[in-house]
Amino acid sequence: MSHFFRLIHNENVKIYKRMGTWVMIGILVLVVALVGAFTKFVLDPGSNADWKSQLTAENAQLTESLETAPMLEAQKRLLKERIALNEYRVEHDLAPMERDSLWGYMVDATTFTGIAALFTIVIAAGMVASEFSWGTVKLLLIRPVSRTKVLLAKYASTLLFAVLMLVLLFSTSFLFGMIFFGFTGAETPYLSYSNGRVVQQNMVTHIIELFGFRSIDLIMMVTLAFMISTVFRSSSLAIGISLFLMFTGPQIVQLLSQYDWVKYILFANTDLQQYTTGTPLVEGMTMTFSIVMLLIYFGLFAFLSLFIFNKRDVAA
Amino acid sequence: MKKPIVEIKNLKKVIGDKTIIHGISMDVFPGEVFGFLGPNGAGKTTTIRMMVGLMGITEGEVLINGFSIEKNFEKAISHVGGIIENPEMYKFLSGYDNLLQYARMLPDPVKKERIDEIVKLVGLEKRIHEKVKGYSLGMRQRLGLAQALLHSPALLILDEPTNGLDPAGIREIRTYIRKIAHEEGIAVFVSSHMLSEMQLMCDRIGIIQDGHLVSVETVGDFVGEKVNTVLEIEPIEKAREFVEQTFPELNPKVNGAKLFVSASREKVPSLVKVLAENEFEIYQVSSENSTLEEKFLEMTEGTK
Ligand SMILES: Nc1ncnc2c1ncn2[C@@H]1O[C@H](COP(=O)(O)OP(=O)(O)O)[C@@H](O)[C@H]1O
Ligand SMILES: [Mg+2]
């Protein structure tokens, strides 16, 4: 096994030999199961029998507001897409997905990436700060391994934990979806609008795509927490700031969206779905712009962590 | 003369606008126990932290086996094992898992047999698979020693290794340190503020005071030469005059009912003989080594 893999192995031992990690994993599974049960036994799904007339009515209303209400170009485009999708459903006899179905539930479950993010932030926040508070950093850093390598191994292990959380989320939501709702409607396609027409897409691909979009936010917040943990050596500060920003950041940029400079704020760029199925926060923002902004922020966090960790006098 | 394993050259540390270490130079050689002695706050831990790369060096350099700890960290540190202040371990892991952590960090991981050998050496084989949480301070100290020796270093650095140990534990560490230095040729650099202890454990001692290296001497030089001899003798004034005339180099002084002379050990019997022959009445003769402690106090008080 290569040296770097052994370092990652070390970090993994430190993550998974602690009780707290398993409590978090347990909570994630439990939440997926409970929400599944809640959807099945408590929520009233309502009758979906006359979905065709519902969609037709919705389209009539959308068409009207499209003509009368003043709105931005992007919003208009969105409404048009929606109308096209609804028409496609009615024409091809494809009922909208229901929440109490396997796929519907799995799509809902993608929002639990927020919980995965929360737990990964907790892990990330402890990666460096705990070594200082335990005092073990003094033994960790007098090994024939550069500080850069130690830090990279820690970061890689944090990302591995994030991947574990996402895989766990995907597989448990599939498992409980099967248990509660059965494997019905497996062939239901996901409809999306691309290049001016409606296309059918495989549902599993769509769900994985959703996970993908949500992971971007997760990775950025985890990297932020990791950086704060490295720079300030305080896990509570890292958890506090990251969670606060994760929950309020998107609201703040929404509030300030009339200003053009908002587009340079991290949280204006973490949701890439705004370019596929939504409207960009500030007119003129593009997917490329956001990806470049994300890379710049990522580079900044990485640089700060590495720079400070390499420079610091260890006097814990 | 052997090539030094550690060369410290004009080492300085400034934090903020405070100079903590004012240019220390010293060498440590293979097979010796080098004591680094100084009162609390003198700068022992700071010096050690610079030696192992935990702290940046403001000026000067530290070479370990010829490699600069700053410019060639990985090469330099691979010869070093150490405990800096308390041996803090991962409490939620077993002693064995802690050792595995450090074993995996080596470029060539040590074999399982080596880990078992070290565990036996420090006498932890019965409890090594228990979580460190339940270890006593002495056991942690031994586990600390085990992690420091795992990769067979050429230099062992121990910062106040006997802190908090009971006398039996202290003796154990002391015996052990002397053994690995003298039998395995490892250089041991050990710091302490306890003078009596250093005297028993070290071959050479460097004294640090307020960030200055005050002196470096072999323990033999420190304690061997001067002996303070106290005589209960009558008549005391006459005796003083007599000694003054016959052995002026002994610098006799009267304090209360006692006569103090500073004679070398070999001198004492002849002094007593001459005094007895001259009809002085000697009730008691006691000699004591001028201990490191006195020397240490003498040296450090001068600078205060
Ligand atoms: N990070 C720091 N910032 C400022 N002063 C420090 C720092 N670390 C140690 N000192 C000061 O340096 C001096 C030496 O400390 P230290 O090396 O721990 O001494 P020792 O180990 O000999 O007891 C002390 O006066 C201490 O207050
Ligand atoms: Mg100290």
Residues of chain A under the 70 pLDDT cut: 1, 44-49, 74, 185-186, 195, 316
Domain tally for chain A? 1
Average pLDDT of chain A to the nearest whole number? 87
Q: CA angle, B31 as apex, B28 and B32 as ends, to 5°? A: 55
A74 assigned to some structural domain: no
- B109-114 mean pLDDT: 88
Structure-token pair, residue B160: 């106040």
Confidence at residue B138, expressed as pLDDT on a 0 to 100 scale? 87
> Within an 8 Å CB–CB cutoff, is residue B93 touching chain A?
yes
Confidence at residue A19, expressed as pLDDT on a 0 to 100 scale? 93
The 3-state secondary structure of chain B reads CCCCCEEEEEEEEEECCEEEEEEEEEEECCCCEEEEECCCCCCHHHHHHHHCCCCCCCEEEEEECCEECCCCHHHHHCCEEEECCCCCCCCCCEHHHHHHHHHHCCCCCCCHHHHHHHHHHCCCCCCCCCEHHHCCHHHHHHHHHHHHHCCCCCEEEEECCCCCCCHHHHHHHHHHHHHHHHHHCCEEEEEECCHHHHHHHCCEEEEEECCEEEEEEEHHHHHHCCEEEEEEEECHHHHHHHHHHHCHHHCCEEECCEEEEEECCCHHHHHHHHHHHCCCEEEEEEEEECCHHHHHHHHHHHHC
**B172 pLDDT band (50/70/90 cuts)?**
confident
pTM: 0.85
Give the residues across from B208 on adjacent strands.
B213
- B279-293 mean pLDDT: 74
Query: Is B84 in contact with A138 (Cβ distance < 8 A)?
Result: yes
- B217-223 mean pLDDT: 69
Identify the residue among A23, A143, A307, A311 best suited for mutation to test binding to B, counting B beta carbons within 10 A and taking the highest: A143
Give the residues across from B253 on adjacent strands.
B260
- B101-120 mean pLDDT: 91
Residue closest via CA to ligand 1's atom 14 equals B43
A136 assigned to some structural domain: yes
Confidence at residue A231, expressed as pLDDT on a 0 to 100 scale? 94
Q: What is the pLDDT of residues B1-33, one digit of tens each?
A: 678 999 999 999 999 999 999 999 999 999 999
A159 assigned to some structural domain: yes
User: What whole-number distance in Å separates Cα of residue A255 and Cα of residue A257?
Assistant: 6
Whether B178 has a pLDDT exceeding 80, the answer reads yes
Select, from the ranges A284-288, B129-133, B256-260, B283-287, the one with the highest average predicted confidence (pLDDT): B129-133
Confidence at residue A128, expressed as pLDDT on a 0 to 100 scale? 95
The 3-state secondary structure of chain A reads CCHHHHHHHHHHHHHHCCHHHHHHHHHHHHHHHHHHHHHHHCCCCCCCCCHHHHHHHHHHHHHHHHHHCCCCHHHHHHHHHHHHHHHHHHHHCCCCCCCCCHHHHHHHHHHHHHHHHHHHHHHHHHHHHHHHHHCCHHHHCCCCCCHHHHHHHHHHHHHHHHHHHHHHHHHHHHHHHHHHHCCCCCCCCEEEEECCEEEEECHHHHHHHHHHHHHHHHHHHHHHHHHHHHHHCCHHHHHHHHHHHHHHHHHHHHHCCCCHHHHHCHHHCCCCHHHHCCCCCCCCCCHHHHHHHHHHHHHHHHHHHHHHHHHCCCCC
A88 assigned to some structural domain: no
* CB-based contact A25:A168 (threshold 8 Å): yes
Residue closest via CA to ligand 1's atom 10 equals B20
Domains of chain B: 6-222 (3.40.50.300), 224-295 (3.30.70.980)
A135 assigned to some structural domain: yes
Q: Which ligand is nearest to the CA of B208?
A: 1
Q: What is the pLDDT of residues A47-97, one digit of tens each?
A: 666 777 777 788 788 888 877 877 777 677 777 788 877 777 777 777 777
Question: How many residues appear in chain B?
Answer: 304
A78 assigned to some structural domain: no
Confidence at residue B303, expressed as pLDDT on a 0 to 100 scale? 46
Residue closest via CA to ligand 1's atom 3 equals B15
Q: Which of A9-13, B40-44, B168-172 has the lowest mean pLDDT?
A: B168-172
Structure-token pair, residue A156: 């890689």
Q: Which of A18, A134, A139 sits opposite B147 (nearest CB)?
A: A139
**Direct distance between the N- and C-terminal alpha carbons of chain B, in angstroms, rounded to an integer:** 36
Identify the residue among A3, A7, A8, A138 best suited for mutation to test binding to B, counting B beta carbons within 10 A and taking the highest: A138
Sign of CA dihedral B232, B235, B236, B241: negative
- B239-250 mean pLDDT: 85
Whether B173 has a pLDDT exceeding 60, the answer reads yes
Select, from the ranges A14-28, B182-196, B283-297, the one with the highest average predicted confidence (pLDDT): A14-28
Confidence at residue B298, expressed as pLDDT on a 0 to 100 scale? 63
Give the residues across from B157 on adjacent strands.
B82, B189
Buried b (16+ CB within 10 A) or exposed e, A123-147: bbbbbbbbbbebebbbbbbbbbbeb
A284 assigned to some structural domain: yes
- B73-99 mean pLDDT: 94
Confidence at residue A57, expressed as pLDDT on a 0 to 100 scale? 80
Select, from the ranges A52-56, B156-160, B164-168, the one with the highest average predicted confidence (pLDDT): B156-160
Whole-number Cα distances in Å, A229 to A215, A233, A305, B184: 21, 5, 9, 42
Whether B85 has a pLDDT exceeding 60, the answer reads yes
Higher pLDDT, B236 or A140: A140
Question: CA A70 from chain center: how many Å?
Answer: 33
Phi, psi of A279 (to 5 degrees): -115, 140
Confidence at residue B304, expressed as pLDDT on a 0 to 100 scale? 42
> Within an 8 Å CB–CB cutoff, is residue B89 touching chain A?
yes
Confidence at residue A165, expressed as pLDDT on a 0 to 100 scale? 94
Q: Which domain holds residue A193?
A: 2-48+96-311
Residue closest via CA to ligand 1's atom 25 equals B41
Confidence at residue A27, expressed as pLDDT on a 0 to 100 scale? 96
Whether B208 has a pLDDT exceeding 80, the answer reads yes
Query: Is B55 in contact with A314 (Cβ distance < 8 A)?
Result: yes
Percent of chain A with pLDDT over 90: 47
* CB-based contact B292:B196 (threshold 8 Å): yes
The one-letter amino acid at A213: F
> Within an 8 Å CB–CB cutoff, is residue A143 touching chain B?
yes
Whole-number Cα distances in Å, B91 to A18, B88, B131, B141, B212: 10, 8, 6, 13, 37
Confidence at residue B225, expressed as pLDDT on a 0 to 100 scale? 54
Q: What is the pLDDT of residues A276-295, one digit of tens each?
A: 777 788 878 889 999 999 99
Q: Which of B48-52, B53-57, B120-124, B144-148 has the lowest mean pLDDT?
A: B120-124
Average pLDDT of chain B to the nearest whole number? 87
Structure-token pair, residue A182: 């059965």
Q: Which residues contact A302 (CB under 8 A, 6 or more apart)?
A: A223, A227
Which residues of chain B neighbour A136 with C-beta distances below 8 Å? 88-90
A83 assigned to some structural domain: no
Could you tell me if the CB of B235 is within 6 A of ligand 1?
Answer: no
Phi, psi of A263 (to 5 degrees): -65, -15
Confidence at residue B195, expressed as pLDDT on a 0 to 100 scale? 80
Q: Which residue is it, tokens 């003129």?
A: A284
Nearest residue to A127 (alpha-carbon basis) of A246, A227, A242: A227
Structure-token pair, residue B138: 């002495």
A14: left (phi over 0), alpha (psi -120 to 50) or beta: alpha
* CB-based contact B83:B48 (threshold 8 Å): no
The one-letter amino acid at B158: L
B227-234 and B258-263 strand pairing: antiparallel
Residues 146-205 in A contacting B (C-alpha not used; CB under 8 Å) = 146
Confidence at residue B292, expressed as pLDDT on a 0 to 100 scale? 58
Give the residues across from A197 on adjacent strands.
A194
Surface-to-core class of residue B233, CB atoms within 10 Å of its CB (0-12 exposed, 13-18 middle, 19+ buried): buried
The one-letter amino acid at B136: S
Could you tell me if the CB of B41 is within 6 A of ligand 1?
Answer: yes
